[in-house]
Amino acid sequence: MNKITDLDLKGKRVLIRVDFNVPLNGGIVADDFRIRASLPTIKHCLNEGASVVLMSHLGRPKGEVVPALSLDPVAFCLEDLLEREVMFSEDCISDDAIGLSQQMLPREVHLLENLRFYPGEINNDSEFSGYLAEHADIFINDAFGTSHRAHASNVGVASIATESAIGLLMEKELKYLGETMNAPEEPCVVILGGAKIGDKIALIKNMMGKADSILIGGAMAFTFLKIQGKNVGSSLIDEDNLNTAEEILRLANNTNTNIVLPLDAVAGPKLSDDATWRVASLDELRNNEAGYDIGPETTMEFEMVLSNAKTIIWNGPLGVSEIPAFSTGTQAIASAVIDQTEDGAISIIGGGDTASALKQYGLDKGFTHISTGGGASLQLMSGKQLPALEALKEYA
């Protein structure tokens, strides 16, 4: 599989699959994290004397034109970040759009309209892929966030393009979520949150034996606590995965992996912005109370385990972090991980909800790597293959 730095780009047209699936607010980009993450690859192509055609999806228009999901606002945001004109086509495969790409001069930039306005994108339709491939001589996949899907713009185009490679962002994601996780510097600590164990089974099993400790918060912790016979009040339990939780605890015992579960919780009778809450040890949880965040004793325990970590891998908030009252644990552990990173540890944040929670509280700086992918990062961290990368390997 080629890297972008392996290719001669001078005077070439380059078609880059980027991930510009960003939130919009009133027709303006509300969070440009993913756009900024794509800049090193775009700038590398421009500096090498290539013309650049960019393609992306935005939201889920389900194969229909939805004006509110146009990438037009992204073109304006990108112009500001690149400090150069970005041409925009209102269709990704029209004769006009393809003609514009084919007439581009070196160092010009052209953004195509939302790929998912056509059903052929998600269906990996060969005809649709063929039209996309007409835009350029070289295909670069830098959209890590969609690499767990087999779509026309990543798998289909890769099968047609004469030359293809991964971009600089993709290379960085693979370095941290692949190589570092396969052979982490020890001690290695994994932090897991979120609601369902089912989403994290493969990740947990992949890290057994590689991680020294796995710290479990979020609602999923209560499923493990219930297996251990602890009082969980009315906390959310993943009933479908009780046996799995038991198997994981047994596997941890066999691989000498230290699983650390909450000792206390920030609990309340209901989940709402104005809910009453209190800190309670597990024994003190009432029947009508659920835990919505890790408590201070658990936070201290987690911080102690993290204090000598050399590699830290985090996937999932430790509480219902969108509600400030239940975000304290996530914020405190984020600060601890940032401190440990400053002391030389490698810290990897697995994108998605974790990245959103950290950004909400201004804690998204100071980590070694924050992934741009949610589902893709979870899949790669779980040791699974990504279809978009397999296509690049197969057709390289």
Which one is catalytic: 43, 196, 230, 310? 196
Does 209 lie in the same domain as 358? yes
Q: Could you say which of 166, 190, 206 is where a domain stops? A: 166
Largest interatomic CA distance in the chain: 71
Q: What is the CATH number of the domain that holds 138?
A: 3.40.50.1260
Does 103 lie in the same domain as 247? no
196 catalytically annotated: yes
Mean per-residue pLDDT pooled into runs of 10, the chain (396 residues):
96 98 95 96 98 98 97 98 98 98 98 98 98 97 97 97 96 93 95 90 92 96 96 94 95 96 96 91 96 98 98 96 94 98 96 88 94 91 93 87
Does 207 lie in the same domain as 132? no
Which one is catalytic: 13, 34, 149, 200? 34
pLDDT at site 71: 98
Q: From the centroid of its chain, how far is CA 16?
A: 19
Distance between CA atoms of 197 and 216, rounded to whole angstroms? 10
Does 281 lie in the same domain as 148? no
Q: Could you say which of 166, 198, 221 is where a domain stops? A: 166
Does 259 lie in the same domain as 205? yes
Q: Are 276 and 311 in contact (CB under 8 A)?
A: no
Count of other CB atoms within 10 angstroms of residue 396:
12
Q: Are 139 and 45 in contact (CB under 8 A)?
A: no
Which positions ≥6 away from 137 have C-beta within 8 Å?
12, 13, 14, 162, 163
Which one is catalytic: 59, 178, 366, 375? 375
Does 204 lie in the same domain as 91? no
Does 199 lie in the same domain as 123? no
60 catalytically annotated: no
pLDDT at site 195: 86
Which one is catalytic: 291, 352, 373, 374? 352
Distance between CA atoms of 319 and 292, rounded to whole angstroms? 5
Q: Are 110 and 100 in contact (CB under 8 A)?
A: yes
Q: Could you say which of 109, 141, 166 is where a domain stops? A: 166
Does 179 lie in the same domain as 160? no
Collect contacts of 24-28 with beta carbons under 8 A, ≥24 apart.
24/58, 24/68, 24/73, 27/73, 28/73, 28/77
Distance between CA atoms of 51 and 10, rounded to whole angstroms? 9
Q: Which helix (H) or strand (E) holds 338?
A: helix 328-342
Please state the domain count of the chain: 2
Does 338 lie in the same domain as 216? yes
352 catalytically annotated: yes
Does 128 lie in the same domain as 48? yes
Torsion of the alpha carbons at 168, 169, 171 and 176, rounded to the nearest 10: 140
Query: What are the start-end ranges of the E strands in the chain?
Result: 13-17, 24-25, 28-29, 51-55, 86-89, 109-112, 138-141, 163-166, 188-192, 213-216, 258-260, 264-268, 278-281, 290-294, 311-315, 346-349, 369-370
194 catalytically annotated: no
Single-letter residue type at 77: C
Domain that includes residue 178, residue range: 174-381
For residue 155, being part of any structural domain is answered with yes
